């Protein structure tokens, strides 16, 4: 009898420990999952933003988006990035007199052409110094110190400020924590608005399974089910191939 009672007490104690374990686990598992998810999504979002930057620049230069990663990476590695170098600005008085940015640039360009026909210059700075002081149209319009030049920069340096180089830029297409899976990329370059205006669209996606697949499976299933019921994309994405959204991310 005493042995039976001791056995029952022992079994009840074990059961209590097991129940306590499952109670604690039921609370901590979702918390751990969400913490890991939050940590990883910071990194995934960063890659999506960088990918969006690349696609937007590609569209800016070529008029379309691309779903071909080889073309996109080649563009980033080899294409020049043109930027307008600005120095000086028009005063209110100049603007009121009818001098616009376009007119000012035209005056400068004409002055540079005339100056280059008369003499040679060792640098662009020397050329500008000359026309600011000697060209009558530049002087009469008060454009001394006003300068506009289109310059060509390294694409990767211009877009990413040295964060990537030709060897590391390939990582932009890989979903972090996914064991090498690529972002899902689609384009719709023929989308037209109700007014008949063509608006090229793109979309880059990282499904939850790709970067959370090694975490708790039940929590992952619950998360996907929740987003599906809300009619949300089950993952992170930027852009939309069905409607213009200014290339926004679904976390923004």
pTM for the model stands at 0.76
Lookup result for tokens 């074990």? 14
Ranges of H-type helices in 124-183: 124-134, 136-140, 155-160
- Tell me, what's the pLDDT at 84? 86
In sequence order, which ranges of the chain are alpha helices (DSSP H)? 2-62, 69-78, 92-96, 101-118, 124-134, 136-140, 155-160, 208-212, 217-229
The reported pLDDT for the residue numbered 17 is 57
pLDDT bucket at 152, cuts 50 / 70 / 90: confident
Mean pLDDT for all residues in the chain: 91
pLDDT score recorded for residue 183: 98
Determine what percent of the chain is predicted with pLDDT higher than 90. Answer: 83
**What is the number of other CB atoms lying within 10 angstroms of the CB of residue 91?**
11
With cut-offs at 50, 70 and 90, classify the pLDDT of residue 147: very high
Q: Quick check: 73 and 170 in contact, CB under 8 A?
A: yes
pLDDT at 18 over 80: no
* Whether residue 23 has pLDDT greater than 90: no
Phi and psi torsions of 115, nearest 5°: -65, -40
Q: What is the pLDDT of residue 6?
A: 62
Q: Provide the pLDDT for residue 142.
A: 95
Contacts of 250 (CB under 8 A, 6+ apart): 232, 233, 236, 237, 238
Condensed to tens digits (0 to 9), the pLDDT of residues 82-115 reads 888 899 999 999 999 999 999 999 999 999 999 9
Residue 82: per-residue pLDDT: 86
Band (pLDDT 50/70/90 cuts) for residue 172 is: very high
- Domain residues of the chain, as ranges? 36-79+157-239, 89-145
* CA 108 centroid distance within chain: 35
DSSP 119: -
- Which residue, among 86, 72, 106, 102, has the nearest Cα to 183 in the 3D structure? 72
239 pLDDT higher than 70 = yes
- Which pLDDT belongs to residue 95? 94
3-state secondary structure of 16: helix
**Using 50, 70 and 90 to split pLDDT, how confident is the model at 1?**
low
């Amino acid at each position: 009898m005493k042995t039976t009672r001791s056995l029952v007490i022992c079994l009840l104690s074990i059961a209590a420990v097991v129940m306590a374990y499952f109670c604690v686990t039921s609370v901590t598992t979702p918390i751990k999952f969400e913490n890991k998810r939050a940590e990883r999504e910071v990194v995934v979002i960063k890659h999506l933003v960088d990918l969006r930057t690349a696609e937007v620049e590609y569209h800016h230069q070529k008029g379309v988006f691309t779903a071909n990663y080889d073309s996109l990476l080649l563009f980033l590695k080899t294409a020049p990035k043109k930027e307008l170098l600005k120095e000086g600005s028009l005063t209110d008085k100049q603007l009121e007199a009818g001098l616009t940015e376009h007119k000012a640039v035209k005056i400068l360009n004409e002055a540079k052409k005339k100056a280059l026909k008369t003499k040679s210059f060792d640098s662009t700075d020397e050329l500008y110094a000359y026309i600011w002081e000697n060209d009558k149209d530049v002087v009469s319009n008060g454009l001394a110190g006003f300068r506009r030049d289109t310059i060509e920069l390294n694409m990767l340096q211009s877009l990413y400020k040295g964060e990537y180089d030709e060897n590391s830029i390939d990582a932009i297409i890989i979903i972090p924590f996914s064991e090498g899976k690529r972002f899902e990329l689609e384009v719709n370059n023929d989308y037209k608005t109700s007014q008949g205006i063509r608006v090229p669209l793109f979309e880059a996606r990282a499904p939850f399974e790709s970067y959370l697949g090694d975490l708790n499976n039940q929590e992952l299933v619950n998360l996907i089910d929740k987003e599906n019921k809300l009619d949300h994309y089950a993952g992170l994405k930027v852009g939309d191939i069905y409607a213009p959204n200014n290339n926004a991310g679904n976390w923004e």
